[in-house]
């Protein structure tokens, strides 16, 4: 009598073997020859050459030249040659059945490095203002030894603290002073770690290594949304894919079962405990991901054969989510329940809320937005074609997983971001369907390579527009960082800190002690007043300032780029505000550099502000 699948012959074994030589994939052809063909030599040589060219291309990049198209307009030709070579080498590796898993791993990890490590290597500081905000939250958690008082809008992080508590524990255990050091490397590291559960997920539906690695390549070629920075949603998404892989591996149709195994629809105790722990980590870290997880488990339970596996996982996720929302997250749920219920009646506006209004956007951002939309549409179109052209994928749960985010998309706008999150959560399954369509090799593999190479390049082209197109605002110079640190160090508790937008490094440092005002988030009348007369427009936000509790206005290069790229304020707003403050009564410049200036306002009765 055969044994039940265990961690030694189930998902963990699949994960371990993903980058090793697979059964039947040895370097011998049908005649038993160990000879390495020219095609194999080419595939092996292209990888190191492409990576070397990529590193060489980063030596001289003028980041100051970024504008409408971000990094796209400053990366040298050699960078694009390296990316094209990497894609060609991967196609050549796919044409040979004898290519070992290690070479596929090298190409996919190389793609991750080229796409996601490039900004990290080029930029002198942490990229993206939200990543800076999350670093500030970790700092506040450590300073307050847990829950952060007076958090205002950031109080939501007190109610979903898992990611921040984990980082605070890591910092205290290692003795690090700040999360900045490792937060900078989050995008490439996160994507490399995500590869493991992705491979495990794809192993649950096939043993064909070319489809598995092809699916991974497609995923990283189309993941343009950029939810891979230092953030709880990146952490929760990684765990989401892990949970789905564990559930899929337990289904009766799972390809993880080997001949001689007894197929069972019961969870081994140890694996189910692991599943529940991962679910809890998701639920305590992020408000949206648990809903995406519940939706995915619901659709996986639709086929009757899946229910004995999926329903226990669904039940545990539902109980944990309900318990968390009724206790720790209850304040946020109570304050926003009316908005949640109202959004259920607006499915059409929820779906389109995240689409950028292109009327005020500069020409380059209009192009970037349309490329993003085209790539997303192409992903779903190719996945739909795969569903029709590859009948065997219908027996897997992947088509259901592509559709799983749609109910959440129609139920809530999530601040205009739901459409992007729905795409991201559907992408792992959609990427494999596309791989099943494109990489099922038959005769004439060389001709298929010539046909697929431009298609893969086109997908990567769409990715870089979305992923690099806004870097002019996401990139911070050292002098901008210095301005933010100066403000955090000198502003006394109770100060008001005013900025045009959130694109200020360190803006939220010590956010539990000071009030922050973002002018681009004010209502339309306040913004119009600011544009007409900057000094008059600032008055409502600084009028309570005193020498003990002054107001600070910080203006910087990235804010100017952000207003230009998003069009939420006229492109010259920062220059006009700066000019007005230089002449205005009571505004004292206390910090100035090439890329940033900080003014202090402490009331008109303070004279010269001394």
Q: Which domains does the chain have, with CATH numbers?
A: 11-24+38-127+184-472 (no CATH), 476-606 (3.40.50)
User: What is the average pLDDT across 455-477?
Assistant: 95
Residue 554 has pLDDT above 50, yes or no: yes
User: What is the average pLDDT across 338-351?
Assistant: 67
User: What is the average pLDDT across 193-219?
Assistant: 95
Q: Write the pLDDT tens digit of every residue in 508-525.
A: 989 999 999 999 999 999
Residue 27 has pLDDT above 70, yes or no: no
In 249-264, which positions are buried (b, 16+ CB within 10 angstroms) versus exposed (e)?
bbbeebbbbeeeeeee
User: What is the average pLDDT across 391-417?
Assistant: 86
User: What is the average pLDDT across 203-225?
Assistant: 95
Q: What is the pLDDT of residue 358?
A: 63
pLDDT band at residue 4, thresholds of 50, 70 and 90? very low
> Residue 446 CB: number of other CB atoms within 10 A?
11
> What does the alpha-carbon distance between residue 315 and residue 275 come to, in Å, rounded to a whole number?
12
pLDDT band at residue 324, thresholds of 50, 70 and 90? very high
Residues forming beta bridges with residue 599, ordered by sequence position: 553, 589
> Residue 335 CB: number of other CB atoms within 10 A?
11
pLDDT band at residue 583, thresholds of 50, 70 and 90? confident
Angle subtended at Cα 279 by Cα 273 and Cα 280, rounded to the nearest 5 degrees: 90
Q: What is the pLDDT of residue 346?
A: 67
User: What is the average pLDDT across 99-109?
Assistant: 93
Residue 461 has pLDDT above 60, yes or no: yes
Do 217 and 93 touch, CB atoms closer than 8 A?
no
Token digits of residue 532: 């007409």
**For the chain, how far is it from start to end, CA to CA, in angstroms?**
87
Angle subtended at Cα 381 by Cα 372 and Cα 305, rounded to the nearest 5 degrees: 120
Residue 253 DSSP symbol: T
pLDDT band at residue 567, thresholds of 50, 70 and 90? confident
Instruction: Write the DSSP string, 185-197.
Output: THHHHHHHHHHHH
> Residue 422 CB: number of other CB atoms within 10 A?
24
Token digits of residue 301: 């339970």
Q: What is the pLDDT of residue 19?
A: 42
User: What is the average pLDDT across 342-364?
Assistant: 66
Residues forming beta bridges with residue 499, ordered by sequence position: 518, 554
Token digits of residue 533: 């007369």
Helices (H), 145-208: 156-159, 162-174, 180-183, 186-203
Residue 259 has pLDDT above 80, yes or no: no
Q: Which residue has the tokens 């100035």?
A: 592
User: What is the average pLDDT across 225-234?
Assistant: 94
> What does the alpha-carbon distance between residue 336 and residue 353 come to, in Å, rounded to a whole number?
18
Q: What is the pLDDT of residue 451?
A: 81
Residue 30 has pLDDT above 80, yes or no: no
**What are the backbone angles phi and psi of residue 98, rounded to the nearest 5°?**
-90, 0
54 or 419, which is more confident: 54
Residue 1 has pLDDT above 70, yes or no: no
Q: What is the pLDDT of residue 529?
A: 93
Report the run of H or E that residue 499 belongs to, with start and end: strand 496-499
pLDDT band at residue 96, thresholds of 50, 70 and 90? confident
pLDDT band at residue 336, thresholds of 50, 70 and 90? confident
Do 192 and 112 touch, CB atoms closer than 8 A?
yes
At how many degrees (to 10) do helices 289-300 and 269-283 cross?
Answer: 140
User: What is the average pLDDT across 462-482?
Assistant: 94
pLDDT band at residue 586, thresholds of 50, 70 and 90? confident
> What does the alpha-carbon distance between residue 463 and residue 376 come to, in Å, rounded to a whole number?
10
Three-state secondary-structure class, residue 224: coil
> What does the alpha-carbon distance between residue 125 and residue 595 come to, in Å, rounded to a whole number?
14
Q: Which of 315, 596, 265, 289 is nearest to 417 (CA)?
A: 289
Burial environment of residue 525 by CB neighbours within 10 A (0 to 12, 13 to 18, 19 or more):
exposed
Q: Which range (28-42, 101-115, 164-178, 240-254) has the least confidence? A: 28-42
Do 228 and 186 touch, CB atoms closer than 8 A?
yes
For residues 96, 102, 105, 109, the Cα torsion angle rounded to the nearest 10 degrees is -120
User: What is the average pLDDT across 109-138?
Assistant: 96
Radius of gyration in angstroms for the set of CA atoms belonging to the chain, rounded to a whole number: 26
pLDDT band at residue 18, thresholds of 50, 70 and 90? very low
Task: Name the percent of the chain lying above pLDDT 70.
Answer: 87
Going from the C-alpha of 167 to that of each of 187, 505, 582, 592, the distances in angstroms are 16, 19, 41, 33
Do 559 and 501 touch, CB atoms closer than 8 A?
yes
User: What is the average pLDDT across 399-411?
Assistant: 90
Residue 541 has pLDDT above 60, yes or no: yes
Q: Write the pLDDT tens digit of every residue in 361-389.
A: 788 888 999 999 999 999 999 999 999 99
User: What is the average pLDDT across 55-72?
Assistant: 93
Q: What is the pLDDT of residue 418?
A: 82
> Residue 307 CB: number of other CB atoms within 10 A?
14
Residue-averaged pLDDT of the chain: 88
14 or 96, which is more confident: 96
In 48-64, which positions are buried (b, 16+ CB within 10 angstroms) versus exposed (e)?
eebbebbeebbeebebe
Q: What is the pLDDT of residue 212?
A: 95
Diameter of the chain measured on Cα atoms: 93
Q: What is the pLDDT of residue 83?
A: 97
Q: What is the pLDDT of residue 608?
A: 40
Q: What is the pLDDT of residue 544?
A: 87
Q: What is the pLDDT of residue 26?
A: 39
Q: Which range (35-44, 197-206, 478-487) has the least confidence? A: 35-44
pTM metric for this prediction: 0.90
Residue 357 has pLDDT above 70, yes or no: no
Do 519 and 499 touch, CB atoms closer than 8 A?
yes
Do 120 and 56 touch, CB atoms closer than 8 A?
no
Q: What is the pLDDT of residue 85?
A: 96
Residues forming beta bridges with residue 551, ordered by sequence position: 496, 601
pLDDT band at residue 14, thresholds of 50, 70 and 90? very low
User: What is the average pLDDT across 121-143?
Assistant: 95
Token digits of residue 318: 């539902």
């Amino acid at each position: 009598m055969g044994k039940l699948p265990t961690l030694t012959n189930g998902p963990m074994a699949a994960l371990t073997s993903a980058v090793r030589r697979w059964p039947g994939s040895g370097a011998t052809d049908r005649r038993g020859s160990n000879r390495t063909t020219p095609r194999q030599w080419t595939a092996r040589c292209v990888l190191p050459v492409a990576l070397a060219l990529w590193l060489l291309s980063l030596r001289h990049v003028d980041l100051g030249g970024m504008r409408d198209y971000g990094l796209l307009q400053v990366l040298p030709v050699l960078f694009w040659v390296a990316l094209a070579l990497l894609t060609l080498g991967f196609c050549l590796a796919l044409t040979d059945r004898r290519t070992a898993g290690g070479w596929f791993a090298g190409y996919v990890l190389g793609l991750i490095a080229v796409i996601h490590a490039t900004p990290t290597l080029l930029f002198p500081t942490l990229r993206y203002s939200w990543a800076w905000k999350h670093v500030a939250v970790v700092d506040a958690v450590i300073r307050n030894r847990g829950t952060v008082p007076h958090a205002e809008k950031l109080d939501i992080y007190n109610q979903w603290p898992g990611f921040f508590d984990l980082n605070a524990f890591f910092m205290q255990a290692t003795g690090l002073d700040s999360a900045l050091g490792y937060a900078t490397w989050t995008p490439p590291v996160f994507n490399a770690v995500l590869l493991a559960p992705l491979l495990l997920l794809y192993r649950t539906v096939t043993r064909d290594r070319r489809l598995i690695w092809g699916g991974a390549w497609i995923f990283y070629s189309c993941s343009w949304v950029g939810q891979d920075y230092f953030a709880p949603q990146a952490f929760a998404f990684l765990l989401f894919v892990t949970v789905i892989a564990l559930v899929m591996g337990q289904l009766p149709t799972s390809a993880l079962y080997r001949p001689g195994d007894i197929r069972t629809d019961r969870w081994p105790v140890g694996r189910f405990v692991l599943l529940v722990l991962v679910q809890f980590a998701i639920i305590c870290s992020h408000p949206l991901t648990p809903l995406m997880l519940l939706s995915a488990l619901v659709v996986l339970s639709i086929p009757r054969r899946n229910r004995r596996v999926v329903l226990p996982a669904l039940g545990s996720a539902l109980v944990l989510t309900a318990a968390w929302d009724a206790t720790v997250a209850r304040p946020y749920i109570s304050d926003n329940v009316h908005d949640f219920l109202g959004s259920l009646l607006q499915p059409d506006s929820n779906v389109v809320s995240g689409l950028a209004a292109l009327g005020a956007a500069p020409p380059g951002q209009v192009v970037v937005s349309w490329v993003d939309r085209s790539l997303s549409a192409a992903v779903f179109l190719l996945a739909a074609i795969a569903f029709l052209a590859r009948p065997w994928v219908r027996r897997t749960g992947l088509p259901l997983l592509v559709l799983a985010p749609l109910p959440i998309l129609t139920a809530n706008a999530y601040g205009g971001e739901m459409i992007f999150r729905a795409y991201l959560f559907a992408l792992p399954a959609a990427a494999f369907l596309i791989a099943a369509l494109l990489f099922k090799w038959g005769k004439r593999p060389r001709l298929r390579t010539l046909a697929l190479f431009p298609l893969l390049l086109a997908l990567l082209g769409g990715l870089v527009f979305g992923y690099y197109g806004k870097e002019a605002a996401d990139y911070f110079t050292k002098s901008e960082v210095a301005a933010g640190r100066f403000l955090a160090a000198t502003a006394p508790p109770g100060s008001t800190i005013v900025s045009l937008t959130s694109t200020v490094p360190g803006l939220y440092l010590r956010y539990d002690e000071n009030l922050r005002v973002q002018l681009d988030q004010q209502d339309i009348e306040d913004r119009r007043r600011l544009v007409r007369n900057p000094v008059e427009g600032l008055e409502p936000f600084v009028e309570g300032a005193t020498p003990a509790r002054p107001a600070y206005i910080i203006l910087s290069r990235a804010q100017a780029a952000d207003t230009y790229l998003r069009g939420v304020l006229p492109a010259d707003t920062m220059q006009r505000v700066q000019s007005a403050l230089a002449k205005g009564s009571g505004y004292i410049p206390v910090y100035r550099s090439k890329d940033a200036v900080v003014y202090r306002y402490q009331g008109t009765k303070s004279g010269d502000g001394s």
